[in-house]
Amino acid sequence: MESTLGLEIIEVVEQAAIASAKWMGKGEKNTADEVAVEAMRERMNKIHMRGRIVIGEGERDDAPMLYIGEEVGICTQEDAKNVCNPEELIEIDIAVDPCEGTNLVAYGQNGSMAVLAISEKGGLFAAPDFYMKKLAAPPAAKGHVDINKSATENLQILGDCLERSVEELVVVVMDRPRHKELIQEIRAAGARVRLISDGDVSAAISCGFAGTNIHALMGIGAAPEGVISAAAMRCLGGHFQGQLIYDPEVVKTGLIGESRDGNLARLKEMGIEDPDRVYTDSELASGETVLFAACGITPGTLMEGVRFFHGGARTQSLVISSQSQTARFVDTIHIQEQPKYIELK
């Protein structure tokens, strides 16, 4: 899968990032998202594969976007039998977030990126559009910290695993009313808190790399993004756990569904019999082969944002593979017309 799709999925996130970056700072978050979706969809439909969106832009049967259940790739088109050999056909599940952090793009803030994860058919958890309690930590803490423990306990364990004092740890938390007590507990334990307005995929992945000065992600964010984070962390060997949150009273910002009971019924219809189950990264991204790709839209901890020059653009992407056990940073110059110059730095 990696040798066949590796370069092409990088191009998918690059095209989405370039399209969205053109709307950076213009206050149009919906437009920044829409153009990223269309660019990602167009490039995926040029790949020799049969792909199915398991996490996308929503459960809309006829939406002209990357809706859940949509099929993409050359081998899903009407004349596929003329160009696709069934014996060589690659069937994959795809989780996408074409513009992770739409508000960040709209207001010219750091941390937005185009992301996707792929695995063979059935290899990614089809998370409902609910919320998820998340815990991400570096590889050294994998299997030692636990989402069922308190933040105080996990910080002490994390410090021991990293050979740091709790005071040297930085925890990323989304700046939401639901996290008031969590933030207070983290600070009381002695650790430092980095609040973010959007974009917890980047924060989760940053835990997998030394030198980012991010040592944990805690709190509640969107469930679909949790699956994408889990895919990356599985490839990196980091720690990730997620637990679905279905009670609107917990998240305080509303959920799809009118009530706790209604959301529980919806989960049961989806085949989720234990709504309180804690999922590991290997359960959320269970495929034999998992690939993750991201491209910075605005500058972030791991990647630069899109930089435009006369006649083209420069992007920085990250592709992580469970197959080759690699994390590659890819610096790409896109020449769209005759440039006046190309900057090396």
Average pLDDT over every residue of 303-331? 94
Under 8 Å between Cβ of 316 and 303: yes
Same domain, 275 and 293: no
Number of domains composing the chain: 2
Same domain, 162 and 228: yes
The CATH number covering residue 256 comes to 3.40.190.90
Domain end: 268, 284, 300, which one? 284
Q: Return the amino acid letter for 205.
A: I
Could you write out the DSSP letters of every residue in 161-215? HHT--GGG-EEEEE--GGGHHHHHHHHHHT-EEEEESS-HHHHHHHTTSTTSS--
Under 8 Å between Cβ of 286 and 294: no
Q: Is 97 annotated as a binding residue?
A: yes
Would strands 307-309 and 312-321 be described as parallel, antiparallel, or unpaired?
Answer: antiparallel
- Tell me the β-bridge partners of 292: 117, 320
Largest CA distance in the chain: 64
In a domain, 28, yes or no: yes
Q: Residues near 52 by Cβ (< 8 Å), separated by ≥ 6?
A: 69, 70, 71, 72, 91, 92, 93, 94, 121
Same domain, 136 and 255: yes
Q: Does residue 2 carry a pLDDT above 70? A: no
Residue 63: per-residue pLDDT = 46
Give the CA distances from residue 153 to residues 156, 180, 206, in Å, rounded to whole numbers and listed in that order: 5, 18, 21
Residue 279: per-residue pLDDT = 98
Under 8 Å between Cβ of 317 and 292: no
Same domain, 165 and 108: no
Same domain, 200 and 279: yes
Average pLDDT over every residue of 236-263? 88
Lowest mean pLDDT among 4-13, 52-61, 99-108, 310-319: 52-61
Same domain, 58 and 138: no
Domain of 189 in residue numbering reads as: 131-284
Dist. CA 171–CA 330, nearest whole Å: 27
- Residue closest to 139 by CA, chosen among 205, 235, 237: 237
Average pLDDT over every residue of 4-27? 93
Lowest mean pLDDT among 168-172, 201-205, 336-340: 336-340
Same domain, 266 and 190: yes
Q: Does residue 231 carry a pLDDT above 80? A: yes
Same domain, 307 and 269: no
Domain end: 284, 303, 325, which one? 284
Q: What is the 3-state secondary structure (H, E, C) of 43-93?
A: HHCCCCCEEEEEECCCCCCCCCCCCCCCEECHHHCCCHHHHCCHHHCCEEE
Same domain, 206 and 268: yes
Same domain, 85 and 137: no
Same domain, 165 and 257: yes
Residue 341: per-residue pLDDT = 65
In a domain, 343, yes or no: no
Q: Is 57 annotated as a binding residue?
A: yes
More confident residue, 59 or 201: 201
Q: Does residue 59 carry a pLDDT above 70? A: no
In a domain, 254, yes or no: yes
pLDDT tens for 186-196 read 999 999 999 99
Average pLDDT, the chain: 91
In a domain, 345, yes or no: no
In a domain, 126, yes or no: no
In a domain, 344, yes or no: no
In a domain, 105, yes or no: yes
Q: Does residue 177 carry a pLDDT above 90? A: yes
Under 8 Å between Cβ of 16 and 114: yes
Q: Is 28 annotated as a binding residue?
A: no
0.85 exceeded by pTM:
yes
Average pLDDT over every residue of 98-126? 95
In a domain, 204, yes or no: yes
Kindly indicate the confidence band of residue 3, based on its pLDDT and cuts at 50, 70 and 90: low
Residue 62: per-residue pLDDT = 44
Same domain, 67 and 182: no
CA torsion sign for 256, 218, 102, 327 is negative
Dist. CA 339–CA 162, nearest whole Å: 47
The CATH number covering residue 35 comes to 3.30.540.10
Q: Residue 185: phi, psi to the nearest 5?
A: -65, -45
Residue 61: per-residue pLDDT = 40
Under 8 Å between Cβ of 231 and 292: yes
Would strands 91-100 and 50-55 be described as parallel, antiparallel, or unpaired?
Answer: parallel
Q: Does residue 125 carry a pLDDT above 70? A: yes
Q: Is 129 annotated as a binding residue?
A: no
Residue 84: per-residue pLDDT = 81
Dist. CA 97–CA 116, nearest whole Å: 6
- Tell me the β-bridge partners of 312: 309, 335
Kindly indicate the confidence band of residue 87, based on its pLDDT and cuts at 50, 70 and 90: low
